[in-house]
Amino acid sequence: MTKSNAKALSDPTAYAYCLAPTPWMTALRQRPPLTERHPELTAKRIQIEKRFRSLLPGQSETDPVTLGRGILMAVLRLGLKLLRLYEKGRKNALDLRLNEEELFFQNLPPGLEGVRILHLSDLHLPRRFPAFAEKAAALLDGLTVDLCVMTGDYRWGYFGPVDHAPEQISTILSGVRSRYGVVGVFGNHDSFIMGETLEKEGIPLLFNEGIALPFGADTLWVGGIDDPHIFRCTDLKAATAGAPENAWKLLLAHSPEKVREAEALGFSLYLCGHTHGGQIRLPVIGALSYNASCRRSQILGWWQYKNMQGYTSAGLGTTDLPVRYLCPPEATLFTLRKAPKLS
């Protein structure tokens, strides 16, 4: 722990619960409504949502996104049950882990040494199973971090009500203390209504926007973009607008599908999820499918692209089928470190 962090941790006023009305969280909550911050991209996204995810009366969170996918999942579920693997997969999916990772950067400014970032992705909160949120809360209870970030997919499925999401997220974060609170981005399961619902309940999103967090004389810039996988109303340049010249930049994106563009814009760290690490992995072969246009090396865990490092979370929840194999659900706690000079 650095001297500055040791001092901050001993100061009870420096950290508050994630959703507390700290000055910084209050400033985020006082921004104009989500629909007004990028009106053109908002209109485009809502059109795309109508085309891909039109909400029909009576749909529920367990309805498949397409008939074909529904049939595929039914066959897979039957196969796993016949092989007596289904229950094991369900248990695996609830074996939540907290992974702690130190990330080393040559360009890390002194003020950011030791900064702790809690990353949650793909919570896929099931409305019908609120005990999942309580289990996640127990995993995270007592953590003290500088920032909590969430990289999308807050709902279990693709349809149905979303009003349970803020309450369950509040439960999950109830025991986490964070200097700068929590901020999230949209995933490919998240309709615009999800974003509005979260923000209404005090959980701010970055929709092609960024924010500056001071750490002494240095600045951590946190940019966040729309889901790059399905909705693709992304504007990376807008997510850097207003960044101080010397800020060290972190990008939040749902999937690892904007890596090249992010590196070109000077981001040093890219946090994402979406792939679930495959969710079902086989020995030697790895993920059976990962549903993203990216390098296979970028579908799970740490990776590097030129001057930028990234981490693709396995996610904490599951979707389509509530099972996991060789791919434990994770929350990730990063500590930023200055890399030693190359000799």
Q: Would you say 122 or 199 has its CB closer to Fe ion?
A: 122
242 neighbors 139 (Cβ within 8 angstroms): no
Give which of 209, 213, 151, 229 is closest to 180, Cα–Cα: 213
Q: Which two tokens stand for residue 217?
A: 């004389």
Residue found under tokens 């080393």: 104
Cβ 194 to Fe ion shortest distance, Å: 13
CB of 153 to Fe ion, least distance (A): 4
- Whether the Cβ atoms of residue 97 and residue 301 lie closer than 8 Å to each other: no
C-beta of residue 233 within 8 angstroms of C-beta of residue 190: no
Site for Fe ion in 262-291 (CB under 5 A): none
Least CB distance from residue 327 to Fe ion, whole Å?
13
Q: Considering only residues 153, 209, 226, 257, which one is a binding residue for Fe ion as defined by CB under 5 A? A: 153
For the bound state, the minimum distance from the C-beta of residue 282 to Fe ion, rounded and expressed in Å, comes to 20
**Contacts with Fe ion: how many residues (CB under 5 A)?**
2
Amino acid present at 181: G
Q: Which is nearer to Fe ion, 122 or 146 (CB)?
A: 122
**CB nearer Fe ion, residue 157 or residue 202:** 157
Please say which residue, 218 or 330, places its beta carbon nearer to Fe ion. 330
DSSP tag of 256: S
Cα distance between residue 144 and residue 5, in whole Å: 11
Binding mask 108-137 for Fe ion (x = CB under 5 A): --------------x---------------
DSSP string, 106-136: TT--GGGTT-EEEEE----B-TT-THHHHHH
17-56 footprint of Fe ion as x/- string (CB under 5 A): ----------------------------------------
Residue 122 or 263 having the CB closest to Fe ion = 122
Q: How far is the CB of 276 from Fe ion (least distance, A)?
A: 6
- Residues 6 or more apart whose CB falls under 8 angstroms from that of 37 comprise 31, 207, 209
By C-beta, is 181 or 278 nearer to Fe ion? Answer: 278
**What is the distance in angstroms between the CA of the first residue and the CA of the last residue of the chain?**
25
Question: Minimum distance from CB of 321 to Fe ion (Å)?
Answer: 13
Q: Closer to Fe ion at the Cβ: 220 or 233?
A: 233
Complex with Fe ion: residue 153 or 227, whichever CB lies closer: 153
Closest contact distance (angstroms) between CB of 100 and Fe ion is: 22
DSSP 150-184: E-S--BSSSSS--THHHHHHHHHTTT-EESS-EEE
288-307 mask for Fe ion (x: CB under 5 A)?
A: --------------------
Report the site for Fe ion in 174-203 (rule: CB under 5 A). none
The verdict on 257 binding Fe ion (CB under 5 A) reads no
Helices (H), the chain: 3-10, 23-29, 34-37, 39-52, 67-82, 86-93, 131-140, 164-172, 192-200, 259-264
Q: How far is the CB of 162 from Fe ion (least distance, A)?
A: 15
Order the strands of the 218-224 sheet from edge to edge: 209-215, 218-224, 248-252, 269-272, 308-312, 301-305
Closest approach of Fe ion to the CB of residue 185, in Å = 12
Looking at beta carbons only, is 122 or 330 nearer to Fe ion? 122
Closest of 298, 256, 250 to residue 274, by C-alpha: 256
> What residues line the site for Fe ion (CB under 5 A)?
122, 153
